[in-house]
C-alpha cells in the first residue's frame, strides 16, 4: 500500500478505534503468531484459512492469525477472566489468510473491531450496531445500511420439521442461491412434518428487504418455540435500533446464512450504495476457548480496505517546503499549525524544488506562501 492510501488507512483505523474507546471499549493487541493448538483449536473453518510456520526455538507449529475475533474471546476467557462483565474490548490489526474468501480477494486484511462479551440481551446486540454506525459516520461514510440476519432460525426450523442430513444440505444450498422454487420442490419430497410447514417456508422466502416489511411478514408466523424465540430477539433489536436511531437504514434477510456459521443469534452485514462489497459484519456468538469458559458475546469487525473505497476523508495536511537552513524548531511551529513540512537538505532549493517534492506551499520570509503558478 502506497501513499496516500497507507496514511488514509491508518488514519481511518485510528478514528474507528477512537470511537470504540469513547464508547468504553478498551484496546487489546493479540499476537500475530501463536502456537497452532491455541490459535486454531478445533475450529476446522479457521484451520483451513491459517498459514503455518515452524517455530525455530521450540520446533512446534505456529499459525499466523486469520481472524482476530477468536483471539479476543480467548483473551477474555483467560487473561481477563476475573474482570467484571460485560467486558468491552476493541482491536485493530492485520490478518492473513491462505485463501481469499468469496467477498474479499485480498489475503492480508486490516480488521478493526469491537466485542461486547458476557451479555446476552437485545440491548447488547443493539449497542454493537449503534457503535459501528457511529464509527462509520465519524469516517464520513455515506448511505450505509445494516442488513440484519437470523442464521439460527433456519436450523431451528429444520430441527423442528425433522429435516436433516443430505436433505438439509440440499435445502441450504438452494436457499443460499435464493432459488426458492427449488427449495419448495425439495420440501414437497420430504416428510409430513416438513410438508406441513410449506406455508411457513413460503412466507420466510419473502421475509427480506426493508425491516418493517420483513417483520410484518415474520410476526404472525406459527414458528416452533426455538425459532419463535429467535424471531422475538430480532424484533426487539430492531425496535431498540428504531427508537435510538430512527434514521438508521435497516434491512432484514432472515434466511441469509453464508459467513455466519459460528453466529448464535442476530447477525448483520454492513453495505453501502457506493460499493458491492461488505464494509463489515458482526452479530451474536459464543466467545471463549475449546476447554470451557465460554460466554455470550456480540461484536463487529470492519473491513478497512473496503471502507476506504467509500468513505470521505478529510483533506490531507498541506505540504510546505521549508528551505535548507531554517531551524528544525521553526519548522515545528508550522507543524503545530497543521502543516506537513518537507525540509530541504541542500542549499539553494526554491519553488522548483518545492514542486518537485510535491509541496503546494513554501516557507519564505518567515511566512507560508503559496507557490506561484507556472506559466504554460
pLDDT tens-digit readout, 111-159: 999 999 999 999 999 999 999 999 999 999 988 999 999 988 888 889 9
> Strands across the sheet with 33-35, in order?
33-35, 61-64, 51-54
User: Are the beta carbons of 65 and 4 closer than 8 angstroms?
Assistant: no
Residue 268: per-residue pLDDT? 95
- Across-strand partners of 343? 322
User: Taking the complete model, does pTM exceed 0.85, yes or no?
Assistant: yes
Assess if residue 95 is contained within a domain: yes
Total of domains in the chain = 3
Residue 372: per-residue pLDDT? 84
Rounded Cα gap, residues 184 and 179, in angstroms: 9
Domain span at 354? 319-370
Pair 168, 293 in one domain: no
Assess if residue 325 is contained within a domain: yes
> Strands across the sheet with 340-343, in order?
340-343, 319-322, 361-364, 367-370
The enclosing domain of 32 has a CATH number of 3.30.930.10
Pair 171, 228 in one domain: yes
Rounded Cα gap, residues 73 and 175, in angstroms: 31
pLDDT tens-digit readout, 215-232: 999 999 999 999 999 999
Rounded Cα gap, residues 51 and 97, in angstroms: 7
* Average confidence (pLDDT) over 34-49: 80
Pair 175, 212 in one domain: yes
Look at residue 52 and tell me whether its pLDDT is greater than 80: yes
Q: Is the dihedral of CA 134, 140, 143, 148 positive or negative?
A: negative
Pair 29, 115 in one domain: yes
Q: Which three cell numbers stand for residue 335?
A: 507543524
pLDDT tens-digit readout, 196-214: 989 999 999 999 999 999 9
Look at residue 353 and tell me whether its pLDDT is greater than 60: yes
Pair 128, 58 in one domain: yes
Pair 285, 349 in one domain: no
Look at residue 48 and tell me whether its pLDDT is greater than 70: yes
Assess if residue 273 is contained within a domain: no
Pair 121, 169 in one domain: no
Look at residue 104 and tell me whether its pLDDT is greater than 80: no
User: Are the beta carbons of 87 and 103 closer than 8 angstroms?
Assistant: no
Assess if residue 272 is contained within a domain: no
Assess if residue 132 is contained within a domain: yes
Q: How many helices and strands (H and E) does the chain possess?
A: 15, 16
* Average confidence (pLDDT) over 250-279: 84
Look at residue 376 and tell me whether its pLDDT is greater than 80: no
> Helix, strand or coil for residue 18?
helix
Pair 51, 117 in one domain: yes
Amino acid at each position: 500500500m502506497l501513499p496516500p492510501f497507507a496514511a488514509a488507512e491508518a488514519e481511518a483505523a485510528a478514528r474507528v478505534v477512537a470511537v470504540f474507546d469513547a464508547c468504553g471499549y478498551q484496546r487489546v493487541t493479540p499476537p500475530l503468531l501463536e502456537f497452532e493448538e491455541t490459535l486454531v483449536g478445533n475450529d476446522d473453518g479457521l484451520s483451513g484459512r491459517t498459514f503455518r510456520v515452524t517455530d525455530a526455538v521450540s520446533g512446534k507449529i505456529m499459525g499466523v492469525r486469520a481472524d482476530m475475533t477468536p483471539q479476543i474471546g480467548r483473551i477474555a476467557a483467560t487473561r481477563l477472566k476475573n474482570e467484571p462483565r460485560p467486558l468491552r474490548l476493541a482491536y485493530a490489526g492485520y490478518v492473513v489468510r491462505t485463501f481469499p474468501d468469496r467477498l474479499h480477494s485480498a489475503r492480508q486484511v486490516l480488521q478493526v473491531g469491537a466485542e461486547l462479551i458476557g451479555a446476552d440481551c437485545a440491548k447488547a446486540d443493539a449497542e454493537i450496531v449503534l457503535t459501528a454506525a457511529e464509527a462509520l459516520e465519524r469516517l464520513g461514510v455515506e448511505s450505509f445500511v445494516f442488513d440484519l440476519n437470523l442464521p439460527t432460525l433456519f436450523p431451528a426450523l429444520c430441527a423442528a420439521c425433522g429435516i436433516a442430513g443430505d436433505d438439509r444440505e440440499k435445502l441450504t444450498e438452494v436457499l443460499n442461491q435464493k432459488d426458492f422454487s427449488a427449495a419448495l420442490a425439495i420440501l414437497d419430497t420430504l416428510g409430513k412434518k416438513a410438508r406441513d410447514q410449506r406455508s411457513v417456508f413460503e412466507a420466510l422466502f419473502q421475509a427480506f428487504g426493508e425491516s418493517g416489511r420483513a417483520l410484518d411478514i415474520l410476526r404472525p408466523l406459527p414458528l416452533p418455540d426455538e425459532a419463535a424465540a429467535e424471531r422475538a430477539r430480532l424484533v426487539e433489536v430492531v425496535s431498540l435500533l428504531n427508537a435510538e436511531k430512527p434514521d438508521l437504514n435497516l434491512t432484514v434477510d432472515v434466511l441469509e446464512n453464508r459467513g455466519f456459521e459460528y453466529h448464535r443469534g442476530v447477525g448483520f452485514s454492513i453495505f453501502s450504495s457506493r460499493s458491492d462489497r461488505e464494509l463489515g459484519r458482526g452479530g451474536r456468538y459464543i466467545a471463549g476457548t475449546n476447554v470451557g469458559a465460554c460466554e455470550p458475546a456480540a461484536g463487529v469487525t470492519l473491513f478497512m480496505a473496503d471502507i476506504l473505497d467509500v468513505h470521505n476523508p478529510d483533506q490531507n495536511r498541506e505540504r510546505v517546503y521549508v528551505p535548507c537552513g531554517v531551524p528544525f524548531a521553526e519548522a515545528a511551529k508550522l507543524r503545530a499549525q497543521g502543516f506537513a513540512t518537507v525540509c530541504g537538505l541542500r542549499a539553494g532549493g526554491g519553488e522548483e524544488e518545492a514542486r518537485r517534492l510535491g509541496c503546494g506551499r513554501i516557507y519564505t520570509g518567515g511566512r507560508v506562501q503559496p507557490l506561484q503558478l507556472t506559466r504554460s
